[in-house]
Amino acid sequence: MTDWAASTDIDSLVFDARKLWERGRSDTGAHRVELYLKRARRRRMSRGRDADRLTTSDSIETGCALRWVERDGSGPRHLAIVGASDAELSRAIGTATSALDVDLATFAVGLEVPDERLDVEPGAVEPDDRAMSEGMRGAPWVDGVELGRTVEVLVGSEGWIAVRTRVRSSAVLSGGSRLVARRGPDVLSAIPEPARCAEPGVGALHLAPPAAAAVVARLVATAHGSSPQLGRDVGPGWVIADDPHDPRGLAGGEFDDAGFPTRRRPLARDGKIVAGIDGSGAFWRRSFRDPPRALPSTLVVDGGGATGGSEGRIDVCRVLPLSRGEWVLELSGLRPRHVRTTPDTLLLGCRGGVGAAESTADGVITPGLIFENVARD
C-alpha cells in the first residue's frame, strides 16, 4: 500500500471517527452527538515561469466537527478542529458555546438506516505523474492541474456510520482565467484548446457552459434559496433540478452531510418555479468547519432547445451583485463588457439551452444558455 492510499484508508478513518465520537459523548454528557470527519489528499502539478518546468506538490487536509444538544435541550453546540486528535477535541469541547447558526432540523434522528452506509467509488486512484506531465506539456494553456481524493465519515446520534469517497480533478487555465473541474481523474482530457472569444453582441446573450454556470448558481441562490419564489413565472429555458445522484456531479451522493437520504429535486419546469433548496436531503457543508445547512449539491439544467451558433458566445462571465435586485454581468470577449440587469430579467429571459451539457467548477451541469432582453431598461 502506498502512502497515498494509506492516507485515505477508509478503515482507519472510520476507527478514528468512532473514537472521536465516543470522546465527544463522554466529555459532553449529551444525548444527541454527531461527529463529522473529513480527509482530503491532493497532488498538484504547476507550471513555473519557465513554461517547460513543472513542479509537483502534495497536501493532506484533515479536520473534524462535533455537534451536540445538551440533555436539558440547551444548545445546540458546534465546534471544529484541524486534525483528528481526541485530546484537542476535548480541549475544544471545554470552551464551546451555543452555536446560533446550527438548525436543530439538520440533526438526523430516528432514521431507519443500516448501521453502516457506504457511498464509495470503486477502485483506487493513484496519481500518475507521467500522465499529468505529458498532459500539461500537450496543453500549454493550462497553468496547473490537481488530483484529489476525499474521504468523509459521519457518525450519527444513534451511532450509525456513513462513509463517502470522491475523486476529483481540476485545472487552472492560463493566467487564472478559468477553473475547470471534473469528477474523476481525467480533467485534462476535457479541456479543449481555447478559442478566440467573439465580441459580445447586442442582441440575445449566448453564454457557454462555464459562463452560464456562474449565472445559474447565483439565480438558484436568489430564486430557490431560503425564501423560494414558488409559483413565479420563468423563461422556457429555466428547467433545472438539484440532483445529488448525478454521477457527473462534484458533490452530492446517496445521503447528505447530515445523514439524510437524498433524492432528485426539480426546482423549475413548465415555466414555473416549483421548489426551493430546503429540508432533509439538502443539508451540506461547504467545509468541515461549517455545520450543515440547506444548499444545492449538483444543479442540472435541461434548458430545452434553442437555436444559436458560436458567434458572440461568451466563455467567461462574472456576476457582480450590486444589491439583491440589481446585478452587473462582466462579460469577457475581446475586451470586458459590463451589462446591468436584474435576477428577474434573467429568469424570464432564459430562452433555452444550446449544445451538450457540461460539468463545471461551479457545481452546475449545463448546456450553453441563451438569455433574451438581458439589459435593464
Q: What is the pLDDT along the chain (377 residues), one digit of tens a residue?
A: 456 677 888 999 999 999 999 999 999 999 899 999 999 999 999 988 776 789 999 999 999 999 999 888 877 999 999 999 999 999 999 988 888 788 889 999 889 999 999 999 887 678 888 888 988 888 888 999 999 999 999 999 999 999 999 999 999 988 666 889 999 988 888 776 665 554 444 468 899 999 999 999 999 999 999 888 999 999 999 999 999 999 999 999 999 999 999 999 999 999 999 999 999 999 999 999 999 999 999 999 997 666 555 456 888 899 999 988 899 999 876 566 888 999 999 999 999 999 899 999 999 999 999 999 887 54
Cis peptide, bond prior to residue 76, ω within 30 of zero: yes
What is the 3-state secondary structure of 98-149?
ECCCCCHHHCCCCCCCCCEEEECCCCCCCCCHHHHHHHHHCCCCEEEEEEEE
- Please give the biggest Cα pair distance in the chain: 65
Q: How far apart are CA 67 and CA 259, in angstroms?
A: 13
Alpha-carbon distance values, 79 to 35, 180, 288 (Å): 10, 32, 10
Residues 6+ apart with CB under 8 A from 223: 229, 232, 234, 268, 273, 343, 347
Amino acid at the residue 361: A
Whether the CA torsion 322, 358, 4, 252 is positive or negative: it is positive
Closest to 3 in 3D by CA, of 142, 149, 140, 117: 149
CB atoms within 10 A of CB 201: 13
Say what the pLDDT of residue 8 is: 82
User: For the stretch 259-298, what's the b/e string if a residue is b when 16 or more beta carbons lie within 10 angstroms of its beta carbon?
Assistant: bbebeebebbeeeebbbbbbebbbbbbeebebbbbbbbbb
- Do 374 and 346 contact (CB within 8 A), yes or no? yes
pLDDT at site 73: 80
Other beta carbons within 10 angstroms of residue 227's beta carbon come to 10
Q: What is the pLDDT of residue 52?
A: 77
Identity at 16, one-letter amino acid code: D
Contact 265, 282 (CB under 8 A): yes
pLDDT of residue 200: 46
Question: What is the structure's pLDDT at 336?
Answer: 67
Rounded-to-10 torsion of CA 279, 280, 286, 291: 90
Q: Shortest CA distance to 291 belongs to which of 61, 20, 91, 68?
A: 68
User: For residue 226, what pLDDT is reported?
Assistant: 80
**Backbone phi, then psi, for 361, in 5-degree steps?**
-70, -15
Given this model, what pLDDT does residue 376 score?
59
Domain boundaries, the chain: 3-188, 205-371
- What type of residue sits at position 287? S
Cα 217 from Cα 292, distance rounded (Å): 19
Closest CA to 146 of 119, 176, 126, 169: 169
If one counts every other C-beta atom within 10 angstroms of the C-beta of residue 15, the result is: 12
Region 3-188: CATH code: 3.30.2290
Q: From the CA atom positions of the chain, what is the Rg in Å?
A: 22
The answer to whether the CB of 150 falls within 8 A of the CB of 168 is yes
* C-alpha–C-alpha distance, residues 339 and 312, integer Å: 15
Q: What is the pTM of this model?
A: 0.89
